[in-house]
Amino acid sequence: MLQSQLIFGVGCFFALLAAPLKADELLVRDGRYIHLTTDIASAEEAENLVASFDAAVPQWIQFWNLSADAVANFKVKACVIRNKTDFNQRGLIPVTVPNFPFGYAMRSQIWVMAQQSEYYTRHLLLHEGVHSLAYHLFNGAGPTWFQEGSAELLATHQGSGAETKINQIPQRREDAPYWGRFKRMGQATESGEVPSFNAVLGYQPNLTGDVATYSWSWAACMVLSSYPEYRSAFVKAAQQGKKTGPSFNRKLQSSLGKQWPILAARWRLACHDLNYGFDWNREQVKLSANDPLWDGSDLEIQVRPDQGWQSCGVRIPQGAKIRITAEGEITLANQPKPWTSEPPGITFQYHRGRPLGQLQFCLLPNANDPQAKRIDPIEVHGVNDQPMIDVAQYSWLLFRINDECGKLDDNRGNYQVSIKRAR
Ligand SMILES: [Zn+2]
């Protein structure tokens, strides 16, 4: 959360687990980019927080394509807090700071509520630190989605202390206890409440630390920063941090121009698949507005098990009827042992309710309604369950192999897929 926001809520996830330190027992630790005051009981954790922050700052600068000079005078005064009342009484939280459920940033000062896991406390400290850096570098952090999304992006990390690597999706749920971003996104998916990309861009600043809002803002920033063709526009947008109104989005949209519908299509796929271990290098989907319309001739494609969704390279016209057949063998190098699979999948090993190794397809509509607040979930089918397809609207036809998120890198082989006009 950031100073420019109105904050009404007080919903909290933190708990006062340990007895607070006595008045003279606040821990103070000084680093290169952070001066930390805290009542957490563990000096080791406090030192780890300082080392993590100091490791993150040069990576943030690199992310924004700036030189080290940009942070020569950057240093935050940070409070990591268990007993907020005590910090209030000591005058360590000025009365001008609104009630905050997780954290708050005001220029070079940040306040963070200690959480039930070190990972989550560290995440929030980094998150508020990104806000503070945005003030320092850009005089602000842009509209809500950009402000919170970029803070989430650059706070999400693997490792800790000097080994902290920012902008890394945790590999496993156990690596990030209580952080809960994917859990909340999964709930939204279940209840059909996944926002459209444009709805995220329109988020209003009256946040109450709502995890869903933060998570989708993060996802939007991931899509924009992970695809090389959007990245420079995204990084450049940060320079406009002072703008919090619609002109910020308009400028970004105009710099991405015709890529916007492709971005919206990729958004739908990412929302379907994002989870622990998600690897953007393998999950970038090759789509283009210039993909030719399918002329009905036979298509052959190789579908690899070490990549996410793979397009057959054409757009399928509305009303087309197609038949898909597939053959081949792949190896999924999953623990405790590798599995060999054919297109129907391994029917005694399941992922997301379907056989592991199953060849799947989905139809991804070319068009999307820019006014829609929510997106329809993509429908995924097993090729062997549904080899004949009636195409209801102009769509890309995509394939992938069913495997756990984050387990693609050691998969081998491919399926040969043949697409024909149905007779
Ligand atoms: Zn924030």
Residue 397 Cα to ligand 1 midpoint, Å, equals: 38
Q: Measured between alpha carbons, how far is residue 108 from residues 97, 129, 139, 362, 417 in Å?
A: 13, 8, 12, 48, 56
Determine how many CB atoms are found less than 10 A away from the CB of residue 18.
13
**pLDDT-derived band at 11, boundaries 50, 70, 90:** very low
Residue 330 Cα to ligand 1 midpoint, Å, equals: 44
Each residue's pLDDT tens digit, 77-135: 999 999 999 999 999 999 999 999 999 999 999 999 999 999 999 999 999 999 999 99
Residue 370 Cα to ligand 1 midpoint, Å, equals: 27
366 HSE (CA, 13 A, CB side) = 19
Residue 408 Cα to ligand 1 midpoint, Å, equals: 32
Residue 32 Cα to ligand 1 midpoint, Å, equals: 22
Give start-end residues of each CATH 2.60.120.430 domain in the chain: 282-421
Give start-end residues of each CATH 1.10.390.10 domain in the chain: 23-260
Please list, in sequence order, all residues whose beta carbon lies within 8 angstroms of the beta carbon of residue 36, skipping any fewer than 6 positions away. 27, 28, 29, 30, 46, 49, 50, 53, 78, 79, 80
Residue 176 Cα to ligand 1 midpoint, Å, equals: 18
Q: Looking at residue 190, what DSSP letter applies?
A: H
Q: What is the mean pLDDT of the chain?
A: 92
DSSP letters of 279-326? -HHHH-----TTPPBP-S--EEEEE-TTSS-EEEEEEEPTT-EEEEEE
Residue 2 Cα to ligand 1 midpoint, Å, equals: 5
Domain 282-421 has CATH 1.10.760.10: no
CA nearest to 196, candidates 102, 260, 148: 260
Each residue's pLDDT tens digit, 333-357: 877 788 999 999 998 888 888 999 9
Superfamily of domain 23-260: Neutral Protease Domain 2 (1.10.390.10)
Residue 23 Cα to ligand 1 midpoint, Å, equals: 29
Torsion (CA) 158, 159, 161, 166 in degrees, nearest 10: -20
DSSP letters of 84-140? HHHHHHTTSS-TTSPP-SSEEEETTEEEEE--SSHHHHHHHHHHHHHHHHHHHHHSS
Tokens (6 digits) for 301:
């494609």
Residue 315 Cα to ligand 1 midpoint, Å, equals: 40
**pLDDT-derived band at 15, boundaries 50, 70, 90:** very low
What pLDDT score was predicted for residue 275?
96
Task: State the residue for tokens 């038949």.
Answer: 323
Of all residues in the chain, the percent with pLDDT exceeding 90 is 83
- What H or E segment, with its residue span, contains residue 58? helix 43-63
Please list, in sequence order, all residues whose beta carbon lies within 8 angstroms of the beta carbon of residue 408, skipping any fewer than 6 positions away. 279, 282, 305, 306, 307, 308
Residue 157 Cα to ligand 1 midpoint, Å, equals: 16
The Cα 309–Cα 247 span in angstroms is: 34
Q: Looking at residue 354, what DSSP letter applies?
A: E
Q: Measured between alpha carbons, how far is residue 14 from residues 62, 268, 330 in Å?
A: 32, 32, 46
Residue 284 Cα to ligand 1 midpoint, Å, equals: 27
Directed axis angle between helix 181-190 and helix 260-273, to 10°?
A: 100
Residue 150 Cα to ligand 1 midpoint, Å, equals: 9
CA angle 97, 88, 137 (to 5 degrees): 40
Residue 124 Cα to ligand 1 midpoint, Å, equals: 8
Q: Looking at residue 374, what DSSP letter applies?
A: B
Please list, in sequence order, all residues whose beta carbon lies within 8 angstroms of the beta carbon of residue 193, skipping any fewer than 6 positions away. 212, 374
Residue 219 Cα to ligand 1 midpoint, Å, equals: 15
Residue 224 Cα to ligand 1 midpoint, Å, equals: 19
Query: Which amino acid, one-letter code, is at 203?
Result: Y
Each residue's pLDDT tens digit, 270-316: 999 999 999 999 999 999 989 999 999 999 999 999 999 999 999 99
The Cα 263–Cα 398 span in angstroms is: 16
Residue 151 Cα to ligand 1 midpoint, Å, equals: 6
Q: Judge contact between 365 and 377, C-beta under 8 A.
A: no
What pLDDT score was predicted for residue 3?
56
